Amino acid sequence: MNLGLAVNAAGISKTYSGSTVLTDVSLKLGAGELVAILGPSGSGKSTLLRILNLLERPDKGVVAFGASGSVVRDGQNLRRRMTLLLQRSVMFRDTVFGNVSCGLRLRGMSDREIRDRVLKVLGDVGLQGFERRKAQTLSGGEAQRVAFARAIAIEPEVLFLDEFTANLDPPNIKMLETALAAYRQRTGCTTVMVSHNPFQAQRLAKRCLFLYQGQVLGSGPIEEVRRQDDDKIAAFFRGDLI
Amino acid sequence: MSELDVAQVVALSLYVSITATVLTSLVGLPLGAFLALKRFRGSWLMRTGVYALFALPSVVVGLIIYTLLSHSGPLGFLDWLWTPIGMVLAESVLIFPLVTGLTMSAVSDVDESVRLTIKTLGANNRQLMARVMHEARFGIFGAVMVGFGRAISEVGAVWMVGGNIQGSTQVITTAIMQQTQMGDFGTSFALAGILMAIAFIVFFVIREIQERG
């Protein structure tokens, strides 16, 4: 299966109440590629993800998807081919099954298809037998794994991950990174991952975009960006800029 | 009052109140959710108006509905005055702001991150509203039950519009008033006990469902 969808964002700018969050940011991903967006807190990474996921409109610039690179006009249909996993796992007031099946029900899938898909993805994140548990009773790590299962259950062609392992313990981080690698290998899904952990970015991605105060300071292979002669980038990779 | 009369009064009370609650919910729940989720020109005024109408006096509702349904009124041709349908209309108008406003509050309380998550899963606007209402279901259920509680305990509007006609439009509350005025305290207290029992059952059901949620 090859689900990956190319992403091309050009000249993205965004301002909230007079405060500029993104300035002329461009990002291009080939189908199936994984790119990390790096930068300290408040650099506009999450805003960029929401714009790429078509949840917000940029003030300037365009976002295009697919090999043809056509600019998005009908956001609704396209939005169903991608999803965004938020940093803080949000659990609906429902069972684990109800949570993971949500996106599938929105797509009108049959009960049998939904059941098969939910059991499959719960197995992928090591939560077999959790279907009937109330989602509100899960630990932070379990909740984030359920949120990840819910995201991949809809088999997105583009997966946006916003600090998807933040505040998790090493076993949960490893579990999620393994599940991500397995899903990407199975589907060829294009992935954009926001992180302020340079080590995780180096583990998972080959290429990165470095944002600082809404502007691109570096872009390209992670190692090349790391070696760039820039104080902010150097401080970030040393762990002095968070 | 015979036992048969009491049973008839209780049955009519439940019929009028349940019908009014169901009809109001059909409009009030989606409207409450819509007002909670959508921002448009005048939406603030509408939300404020709904909350302000929480204090709507029942005799004012009775007066308005009476005027509309009376023979010389614009809806007089319906011939609903002194009928249970007229009483259902009066109770519906009375509880509409409560059901709508409490639904609005319940839906507004659903965290913004929940709405965002639903959107990330590909929901369109209609699906988003349905799913947010599902998230707010315990609060919404409470809104419906509060509406029912207000309807079953209503006296002013149903008296004015229904006329308290024994065997036809007499409900528990109006029967209590009449029996008290006639000095039949035994029947009044028996009817009051039934009304209290219904109120406690409603309260118990709300608590039970919210606890389980």
CB-based contacts of A58, cutoff 8 Å, min separation 6: A12, A13, A14, A22, A51
Cross-chain CB nearest to B120 (options A76, A83, A107): A83
Helices (H) and strands (E) in chain A, counts: 9, 10
Q: How many CB atoms lie within 10 A of CB B145?
A: 21
Range of the domain at A126: 32-44+80-238
Looking at beta carbons, which residues of chain A come within 8 Å of B124?
76
Beta bridge partners of A13: A60
Residue A182 domain flag? yes
In the predicted structure, residue B75 carries a pLDDT above the cut 90:
yes
First to last CA, chain A: 38
3-state SS, A137-180, equals HCCHHHHHHHHHHHHHHCCCCEEEEECCCCCCCHHHHHHHHHHH
Please give the pLDDT value at position A240. Answer: 83
First to last CA, chain B: 43
Q: What is the pLDDT of residues A68-85, one digit of tens each?
A: 655 555 677 888 999 999
- What is the tally of structural domains in chain A? 1
User: What DSSP designation does B56 have?
Assistant: -
Contact assessment for residue A29 and residue A190, using Cβ atoms and an 8 Å cutoff: yes
The answer to whether A106 contacts chain B (CB < 8 Å) is: yes
CB-based contacts of B13, cutoff 8 Å, min separation 6: B152, B171, B172, B173
pLDDT tier for residue A1 given thresholds of 50, 70 and 90: low
Q: Which CATH number fits domain B3-212: 3.30.1490.100, 1.10.3720.10, 1.10.580.10, 3.40.50.720?
A: 1.10.3720.10
The answer to whether A93 contacts chain B (CB < 8 Å) is: yes
The phi, psi pair for B135, rounded to 5°, reads -65, -35
Residue A152 domain flag? yes
Looking at beta carbons, which residues of chain B come within 8 Å of A93?
135, 137-138, 213
Contact assessment for residue A10 and residue A62, using Cβ atoms and an 8 Å cutoff: yes
Residue A8 domain flag? no
Cross-chain CB nearest to B119 (options A55, A85, A150): A55
Give dist(CA B101, CA B32) in Å, integer.
Answer: 6
User: What DSSP designation does A95 have?
Assistant: B
CB-based contacts of A137, cutoff 8 Å, min separation 6: none
Give dist(CA A207, CA A201) in Å, integer.
Answer: 9
Q: In the block, which residue shows the tokens 């990779």? A: A237
Give dist(CA A87, CA A167) in Å, integer.
Answer: 9
The answer to whether the Cβ–Cβ distance between A90 and B122 falls below 8 Å is no
Q: What is the pLDDT of residues A4-39, one digit of tens each?
A: 788 999 999 999 988 999 999 999 999 999 999 999
Any idea how long chain B is? 213
Looking at beta carbons, which residues of chain B come within 8 Å of A106?
121-123, 127, 131
The answer to whether the Cβ–Cβ distance between A102 and B122 falls below 8 Å is no
CB-based contacts of B181, cutoff 8 Å, min separation 6: none
In the predicted structure, residue A3 carries a pLDDT above the cut 70:
no
Which A residues in the span 18-77 are in contact with B, Cβ-Cβ below 8 Å?
53, 55, 76
Q: What is the pLDDT of residues B161-174, one digit of tens each?
A: 999 999 999 999 99
User: What DSSP designation does B177 have?
Assistant: H
The answer to whether the Cβ–Cβ distance between B127 and A106 falls below 8 Å is yes
Residue A171 domain flag? yes
CATH of the domain at A150: 3.40.50.300
Looking at beta carbons, which residues of chain B come within 8 Å of A150?
121
In the predicted structure, residue B69 carries a pLDDT above the cut 70:
yes
User: What DSSP designation does A32 have?
Assistant: T
Residue A64 domain flag? no
Mean pLDDT of all residues in A198-204: 91
The answer to whether the Cβ–Cβ distance between A90 and B117 falls below 8 Å is yes
In the predicted structure, residue B211 carries a pLDDT above the cut 90:
no
Looking at beta carbons, which residues of chain A come within 8 Å of B121?
83, 102-103, 106, 150-151, 154
Mean pLDDT of all residues in A192-214: 92
